[in-house]
Structure 1
Amino acid sequence: MDHILIVDDDPNIRQLLRDYLREMGYDASTAANGTQMQRILDTSQVDLIVLDLMLDGEDGLDITRELRRAHSVPIIILSARGGLLDRILGLEMGADDYLPKPFDPRELIAKIKVVLRRTRAMPAAPRADASAFVSFAGWRLDTRMKQMLSPEGVVVSLGGSDYRTLRTLLDHPNRPLSREFLLDQVFGKERTPLDRSIDVCISRLRQHLKDVTRRPEVIRTVRNEGYMLVADVAYEA
């Protein structure tokens, strides 16, 4: 049974979503703020977080960014701010999807199913799937923990879409991959409505790689073709 954590400062919304999720067959917990959320994460296995962007006295974007630094748990953001810029900012901070308020709980259930399915789906690549670690450009990707280890020993946790983007690039090194191909591999048939979804994933991955390795072209833009990972790749059992 998947465990969904609802983080919202409105007690009515917390109770409504908790009861509805339980009726739909999920294990659901609630938290009113970031501190309560962290306490649950420290003591329970959480499969997905539904996070209100506008918590009382806290910035949901900051919480999302901090979550992504330490966890690969999928995040769906809820917010009364439903503009395109806010959605893009949420994705850039590491969220996996975005649902504007007010919303129908049935739509949230649909998004939860899609995000969990996407997170657990793996690109078709036998060599990588059989390997626990993938090394490239001084980095080491742990395919079981969905974490990267930098040359300096810094651990970077990846969100579901970022991880699948990186895996797809690693499975086709030194070859330009079109945005359409990446969209198919990362999001499948349930693509997000934002055309920038892959670009956001690439931007986050580049930031991780550039910050530590100082190699801004590990992931290169190939004009009129797409993106290419420029590195030798080695698979380890």
Structure 2
Amino acid sequence: MVVEREKVRIHILLVDDDARLQTNVRDFLEPYGCRITSMRSGRGVEAAVREQQPDIVLLDVMLPDDDGFVVLRRLRGVSALPVIMLTARGNDADRIVGLEMGADDYLPKPFNPRELLARIKAVLRRSSTPPDAAPREQSRDTLTVGSIRLDLKRQRLERGERSVQLTTTEFRIIRAFMGRPDEVLSRDQIQTLAFGENYYCNDRNIDVYVSRARTILRKLCEESPIHTVWGAGYRWISDEGDGLPPA
């Protein structure tokens, strides 16, 4: 079968100690315009990201030295680069831990390489395409609700002198809420606002993303402005008069 090659190449850093998987992934993805840089160890991933400047990282959970969660934690300390976790264990606990730590997606082994390619493209679309326009956006560069400010260009969340660098997924989730403060948003609405109408993830993923956003907000606010509305979804409560400590 002749495969039509894509003009735009995607540079992928693949971190997995399975030589056969590396070969299979490379053989399938390269005709679709992907360039693969491979590593078999989690050590040195941060340096590889700085030197190789990949577009996305495929990171195995079970590595021979530091496991993928340790590597992800270190990577998130220096980069918001999109990361898809790969695992042979495939249980919900691993998936939830990975998403809570800042992974953008999670794919259990064995996987269909076509699904891997679809996941890669979906994650990259999310990281490069702005979410739906938000009615409370005051300028091209910032979005402010009460004392919390979202820098739209640098993907940084700020309050007073404090600031937190966000991953693309964290940025999109928080931006969805800040664009519609005081509105009750269902999980479907959050998904559409954050990722677009053509993206699908299950309700549990949305709950994990929201949990991650709350954890980040507590670093700035002590109490997260995102509240659960039982049976309906979630709501961002503006901090004017809600008892949040001053910035």
In the superposition, relative to structure 1, how do residues 9 and 196 fare at CA in structure 2: closer, same or farther (>3 Å)? same
Which sections of structure 2, spanning at least 5 residues, go unmatched? Answer: 1-8, 241-247
> Superposition pairs for residues 5-16 of structure 1, below 5 Å?
5-16=13-24
**Residues 18 and 29 of structure 1 are in contact (CA less than 8 Å); yes or no, is this contact kept in structure 2?**
no
Distance 1:29 1:79 in 2: 19
Q: Which protein has greater RCO, CA pairs closer than 8 Å, 6+ apart?
A: 1
Tell me the TM-score normalized by structure 2: 0.83
**Residues 72 and 158 of structure 1 are in contact (CA less than 8 Å); yes or no, is this contact kept in structure 2?**
yes
Distance 1:142 1:112 in 2: 26
Within the alignment, does 1:231 sit opposite 2:241 as a pair?
no
> Superposition pairs for residues 149-188 of structure 1, below 5 Å?
149-154=158-163, 156-187=164-195, 188=197
Following TM superposition, by how much is the alpha carbon of 1:127 offset from its aligned partner in structure 2, in angstroms?
A: 6.1
The range that moved more, 119-128 or 161-170, is: 119-128
Following TM superposition, by how much is the alpha carbon of 1:232 offset from its aligned partner in structure 2, in angstroms?
A: 6.2
In the superposition, relative to structure 1, how do residues 13 and 150 fare at CA in structure 2: closer, same or farther (>3 Å)? farther
Distance 2:178 2:122 in 1: 24
Percentage of pairs with the same residue:
39
Q: Deviations over 1:172-223 (max 9, x none)?
A: 112221222112222433312x32111111111111111332123x111223
2:203 match: secondary structure: coil
**Residues 42 and 67 of structure 2 are in contact (CA less than 8 Å); yes or no, is this contact kept in structure 1?**
no
1:140 match: secondary structure: strand
> Could you tell me which amino acid in structure 2 is paired with residue 201 of structure 1?
Y
Which residue matches 1:110?
118
Distance 1:147 1:45 in 2: 21
Following TM superposition, by how much is the alpha carbon of 1:150 offset from its aligned partner in structure 2, in angstroms?
A: 4.3
Distance 1:115 1:132 in 2: 23
Following TM superposition, by how much is the alpha carbon of 1:52 offset from its aligned partner in structure 2, in angstroms?
A: 0.4
**Residues 46 and 78 of structure 2 are in contact (CA less than 8 Å); yes or no, is this contact kept in structure 1?**
no
Which sections of structure 1, spanning at least 5 residues, go unmatched? Answer: none
Which residue matches 1:222?
229
The range that moved more, 28-37 or 224-233, is: 224-233
State how many pairs are aligned: 230
Q: Deviations over 1:129-157 (max 9, x none)?
A: 95212234543322122222343434x23
Distance 1:150 1:65 in 2: 24
Distance 1:167 1:75 in 2: 20
The root-mean-square deviation of aligned C-alpha atoms, in Å, is: 2.3
Q: Which has the larger radius of gyration?
A: 2
Tell me the TM-score normalized by structure 1: 0.86
Higher helix share: 1
Which residue matches 1:25?
33
Within the alignment, does 1:3 sit opposite 2:43 as a pair?
no
Following TM superposition, by how much is the alpha carbon of 1:126 offset from its aligned partner in structure 2, in angstroms?
A: 6.5
Which residue matches 1:82?
90
